[in-house]
Amino acid sequence: MSSVLVCVLPARGHVGPTKPIVAALITAGHDVTVITGGRYRQTFAELGAEVTVLPPEVDFDETDLDGSIPGRAGLRGLELGRFELANFVRAMPAQLATVDQHLACGVDVVLCDPLFMAGMALVLRERRPRVLTLGFLPLTAPALFQPPPDGLADIARHALLRRLVRWLLRPAQEIAVRQIRDVLDTETSTLFMDWPMHSDGVLQMTCSRFEYPRTLPTPLHFIGPTTASPANEHALPRWWGELDGSTPVVHVTQGTVANDDLSQLVEPAIAGLAGEDVLVVVTTGGGSLRTDPLPPNVRVADFLPYDDLLPRCALMISNGGYGGANHALRYGVPLVVVGASEDKREVAARVAWSGVGIGYPRHSVSPRKLRRAVRTVLADPGYRDRARQMADEIATCPTMDDVVKLITSD
């Protein structure tokens, strides 16, 4: 049996796809220790893992980011993105000290969140255990990878994007270089976002059709989406029986974290689809919905079991969480994605590039634009055909037993 150390940030979108892997490793008899935030201590302990909570200075509460991360409050847009990237990197020394406590006791393999920046220091060491990257974010290496430009407009857009990315990454990269010098006594030119390319492999939680083709210096294993959301996880609402296939179901969500302002996507979608011949099923993630009264074709719940909901959907509108988008594609559901924060711009671009839907790399769009996008996707069978092709490929991805063997085999 192997000793596995799992390092994952305390965010639902990171913990959700990691849980099934941890559970499968434990079921197979392997010893698993998880390093994460206090909010998710019980989540992993209930699976049977040993849990170490991150030091307070690098722990945070995703339900109160401004309150739990000093200096974050009041920042918006690109400045917020710049701050958050630098903040991820600043956590490296404290995270690494916690990791090293476990490595001293013997660890065969480390599974590491790509934003758990101790991973960068770990893979640049001369002596280390096997390190595999948990690929629940878009594969951006080399940062920021884009498919070859198609025409002058694409060339200009790529050039602008490269300048923007350099500006966004500069403070975080300067911190990363300093910290690698301090903790490893060495210099590095490795970009902090590209450290997974120095790991022993990436477990990418999608299929190849959803990622741009490229040649990478480390093995890339497409294992499909791992997040599970069964019926016993969330209570079914009284109106669940209306999802009987008589009317196309359009699911609308802003994910599980970015739901403090539902006017970005949920409320415009409700307004845009009012009166359309669809049943609009909204999950608020606990956010407050201000639309009152609701149009007759709208149904609302805080959370719903995706593994029961998505097979009933004709379309999903989301803000571009990588896990949520791939969960929909597992069931062949086409997408309309509107998102520009964190990795959501990348997801919107992949939705458009792969042909499984329409992607808007923006924080919000108008009700009219959303209505037009929904009509376009529902009317053109090509979107659903490509989403079904994606589902077929996901169905051929490794089973969880195969993933366990991949992790624990030298």
pTM of the model: 0.94
* Residues near 111 by beta carbon (within 8 Å), at least 6 away in sequence: 4, 5, 6, 7, 8, 18, 21, 132, 133, 134, 203, 407
Q: How confident is the model at residue 76 (pLDDT cuts 50, 70, 90)?
A: confident
Task: Give the residue-averaged pLDDT of 314-337.
Answer: 96
**Structure confidence by residue, pLDDT tens digits, 7-16:** 999 999 999 9
* Cβ neighbour number for residue 401 with a 10 Å cutoff: 11
- The structural domains of the chain, with segments of one domain joined by +, span 3-227+397-408, 235-379
Q: Is 235-379 in the same CATH topology as 3-227+397-408?
A: yes
Least confident of 187-196, 219-228, 252-261, 263-272: 252-261
Q: Which residues pair with 233 in a beta bridge?
A: none
Cα(285)–Cα(283) distance, rounded to whole angstroms? Answer: 6
Sheet of 279-283, strand order:
298-301, 279-283, 249-253, 315-318, 335-338, 357-360
Q: Is the predicted pLDDT of residue 200 greater than 80, yes or no?
A: yes
For 3-227+397-408, which CATH class? alpha beta
Percent of the chain with pLDDT over 90: 80
Residue 289: the pLDDT is 86
Q: Is the predicted pLDDT of residue 252 greater than 90, yes or no?
A: yes
Between β-strands 279-283 and 202-204, what pairing exists: parallel, antiparallel or unpaired? unpaired
Residue 122: the pLDDT is 97
Domain 235-379 adopts which CATH fold? Rossmann fold (3.40.50)
Task: Give the residue-averaged pLDDT of 242-251.
Answer: 96
Percent of the chain with pLDDT over 70: 99
Better pLDDT: 362 or 374: 374
* Residues near 182 by beta carbon (within 8 Å), at least 6 away in sequence: 93
**Structure confidence by residue, pLDDT tens digits, 383-404:** 999 999 999 999 999 999 999 9
Residue 288: the pLDDT is 81
CA-wise closest residue to 289 among 324, 321, 241, 254: 254
Task: Give the residue-averaged pLDDT of 254-279.
Answer: 87
* Cβ neighbour number for residue 375 with a 10 Å cutoff: 14
